[in-house]
Structure 1
């Protein structure tokens, strides 16, 4: 992994290079390059305010590309009073601060929420949008919330406040520069805390102040990890994100966090899962890469649940029948689990937009492909285990051709014996 240089130690650009970088952020297929060159004089004044620092220039470019290429718009940015603020804490870089202030109010909370995501974990765009929906940051018609979230996500990219991971071509994963992350966490410091278990003062922070959002990242193991009991005072939490090891002892539970709307715990202890039903307001539940083998039947009491991800829970095999009572569900993810069937009655979950890792079965006391038929709002569907479906009539009952909102369809067929009695390769 490439080391990230401290912000003030990055080589500063010369004037012409700085102008070229700014212009690169603004010029697009619909923008006249000559039109931008006409603004070079004021553009050079803006990059001078950025002190030749590449990140600041990119952030300014992201801000200016949201505006009409008019001299008055650029002059307004140049003359903003934020540039002249003195004595700011080191976290409040002028350029990032200015870009944040120009963000629409509806996107500011999304941006601050993004800064809490632990750097050690990768969060898919749909996961992040699910958190925004669960927190109530997205306002609009229910059918359009995911699309609205994608719009906000794209705008954060355009403003260079988050940067797409070059390993993925569809911008499904992004990173946030340390300088921008520090700024956002400083702005949200009264309501949110992003902490590492190795920090010496984390326990005192947790005991001295109650937060609305808490993000914990731990690389420690055994007794060096953070004790779950140190979180018990955080009774006002709406969001809890935990990546890595937390020491859970007998009797520990989640009952203290009755206000939670968003819960993401990687490597969750099975003892915690049994108390999930205590979360009357929970919308978002992610238990990725945990050693749990099932969800409790009481999950049917969590009427507001919209999002469930069990991705990477390799021992997970059993989904309770009460799942069909969760009429608000929008997202289900069973990828890389061992689940081999869905309880009957799945067809009533007509609010679902995304289903990943649906196991295809045609026998036993399980939901068949036919019950996918009524799910008309589906936008993303992944069906695995199609080798278990030997009759095309079963597949036809899924009514895929009638799902007018479906934009992504993934069909997976695992290994099975062919007519020559040899194992056939997996196909997609």
Structure 2
């Protein structure tokens, strides 16, 4: 019904993918009626003349369609420096500080996240795939240019060519300044050059600004947001209390060891991020007078004074260390902080008794979404326990009791436990006493030094989507307790990563046990697993991606009908891969014993990396991928470059496209062979006879070295 209009809209977008994408984001908000789409097609804004030609009219239509509050948030996003990762909660904090989020004080963060999601739905910002749950996004250069054009009268983004706009005393006055590293060097801008911008409300700088002892902040009396990165801001810090309107303060790599006692006078401060001030140890007593604080992110070595219990507006508390002596804040002061959405606790091994943990009343914090519980790791870099830091029975029993009292509330969605050294994980994760954590979507375990088994209650969690275990050297066996036969286990699990379980040899899973029906990605890394259980292949019918890295003793993988992408890396005993009927992409790295590839008829792309092999493997004759990418030693590459007269021709000639590379001493791809079967078997290479001679020398001297 709408196809004809849609094609006309695409034509107006000039066929540009970004414009089409943004227009799709607009149309999905307009509805599915023909009239709505015709209004977009006939909109007069397609032909607006005052906008520069290089900017996108599709973005302009999307911008004009937004309500006023969302327009402000969108334009502000374009000011954020591209050389820094901004997380969703940081962006929302900036919006709140500028007054763009209009709502009840209790739910400003939730409203801000909805605005953030709306920009994603409109395809105006794009989630970074490195982060789950849209935790971080980027903005396309074209969209950024449009937004900066629209905000040009009130905001200045300073690069190397814009310094004159600051240093000229008669320059335009701006409400917002964003200074980011491009060709600018530290010291190219001094603090005095900013003094003329007396109307500024936002100052964000990711470059070190040259400062003098006499520099003060009093000039910027209207500042609401201050983010600065500098090596020496001691003078500025002394005058912080003069910023009566400041809502947001972030100091990065600031060379300060103390904060002034008068910081407590900043009554409107809502967001205080000091986590990268590595020399800041003691926080002033007056910090607990900042009653409007919604976020406090602490330096790693900081000591928090007593009285934190009075900060009842707190939504995010990051890097809170569990001190239990002296005049510093202890864990039990967190009890009254009922509005917390995010809580990150460190050095929990310092908690002397379980009663302190109980007094924190985590289970009563009904708004808590993300909970991070950290102990100092007792493990080495190689994933084994540090011998000189052996764990006594008394220590293990104490930490188990402490964690048993740190049970999260029912609404928590994200849980991370790191450095825990009890023999078994908290009782509230066991099936017999499992707390109804019905909203829990992500669980991450890191550095479980002494745990001998995975908890048997996780499989019952109805919303669990991501499970990751990193470095658990005492787990040797994953038994039937991990999966329950009575019900479908892990009903919504989407991704599972088991990494660094270096002694793990056996995974017991009976085929009749129903589990992991929605699992799409599985990563097994650094373990001794001898067999992939048959139950996995028969149950995980949605599994698309399987990655096996450094799995010792595994000799075969077979019968995974749903897998589309398979990676095997550093599996020394792997001999055969069979019956992957839908496999499209296969990556093989350093698997020297692999001899058999069978029943993989749908293979589109093969990536093979091995710098020790002298010839292509024989299984190359039995497969027909469309694309083959090879990383090998120079000698083998020279044989491939010989083409039809070489010994390897019949192993790759049936492939449509081949890209093969050998590296030189600095690991760059110095030599290559490119082959296209459909173009009269065209073969291109930069290997010459002298290169082949060089390859012979490499093998000769390498052989002498081995002898």
TM-score range, shorter chain: 0.7 to 0.9
Partner of 2:333: 371
TM-aligned CA deviation for residue 139 of structure 1: 0.7
Bigger Rg over Cα: 2
| In 2, Cα distance between equivalents of 1:265 and 1:207 | 25
Distance 1:98 1:205, change over 3 A: farther
Partner of 2:93: 130
Partner of 2:49: 86
2:322 touches 2:348 (CA, 8 Å); kept in 1? yes
Partner of 1:422: 389
1:91 touches 1:183 (CA, 8 Å); kept in 2? no
Distance 1:205 1:45, change over 3 A: farther
TM-aligned CA deviation for residue 141 of structure 1: 0.8
Partner of 2:283: 319
| In 1, Cα distance between equivalents of 2:317 and 2:29 | 34
Distance 1:343 1:80, change over 3 A: same
1:345 to 286, 307, 320: 307
Structure having the larger proportion of residues in helix: 1
1:413 to 367, 372, 375: 375
Gaps of 5+ in 2: 380-384, 392-417, 421-445, 447-707
| In 2, Cα distance between equivalents of 1:230 and 1:343 | 37
In the alignment, is residue 306 of structure 1 matched against residue 270 of structure 2?
A: yes
TM-aligned CA deviation for residue 176 of structure 1: 0.6
Distance 1:91 1:375, change over 3 A: farther
| In 2, Cα distance between equivalents of 1:206 and 1:93 | 34
In the alignment, is residue 189 of structure 1 matched against residue 152 of structure 2?
A: yes
Distance 1:131 1:251, change over 3 A: same
User: TM-score w.r.t. structure 2 length?
Assistant: 0.53
Partner of 1:153: 116
In the alignment, is residue 391 of structure 1 matched against residue 353 of structure 2?
A: yes
Partner of 1:239: 202
In the alignment, is residue 175 of structure 1 matched against residue 142 of structure 2?
A: no
TM-aligned CA deviation for residue 167 of structure 1: 1.1
Q: Secondary structure at the match of 1:247?
A: coil
Q: In the TM superposition, what whole-angstrom CA distance separates every residue of 1:300-321 from its partner, at most 9, and x where no partner exists? A: 0000000001122211211111
Distance 1:423 1:50, change over 3 A: farther
Gaps of 5+ in 1: 1-37
Structure having the larger proportion of residues in strand: 2
1:282 touches 1:305 (CA, 8 Å); kept in 2? yes
Distance 1:145 1:91, change over 3 A: farther
In the alignment, is residue 283 of structure 1 matched against residue 247 of structure 2?
A: yes
1:91 touches 1:182 (CA, 8 Å); kept in 2? no
1:360 touches 1:368 (CA, 8 Å); kept in 2? yes
- Bigger shift: residues 170-179 or 204-213: 204-213
Partner of 2:14: 51
User: TM-score w.r.t. structure 1 length?
Assistant: 0.87
2:227 touches 2:251 (CA, 8 Å); kept in 1? yes
| In 1, Cα distance between equivalents of 2:121 and 2:390 | 48
Q: Secondary structure at the match of 1:64?
A: helix
| In 2, Cα distance between equivalents of 1:49 and 1:93 | 11
1:218 touches 1:245 (CA, 8 Å); kept in 2? no
Q: Secondary structure at the match of 1:170?
A: helix
Q: Secondary structure at the match of 2:301?
A: coil
1:387 touches 1:416 (CA, 8 Å); kept in 2? no
1:59 touches 1:96 (CA, 8 Å); kept in 2? yes
2:179 to 216, 220, 231: 216
| In 1, Cα distance between equivalents of 2:216 and 2:300 | 24
TM-aligned CA deviation for residue 90 of structure 1: 3.3
2:166 touches 2:196 (CA, 8 Å); kept in 1? no
Partner of 2:73: 110
TM-aligned CA deviation for residue 253 of structure 1: 1.6
Number of equivalences: 388
User: Which structure would you say has the larger RCO, counting Cα contacts within 8 Å and 6 or more residues apart?
Assistant: 1
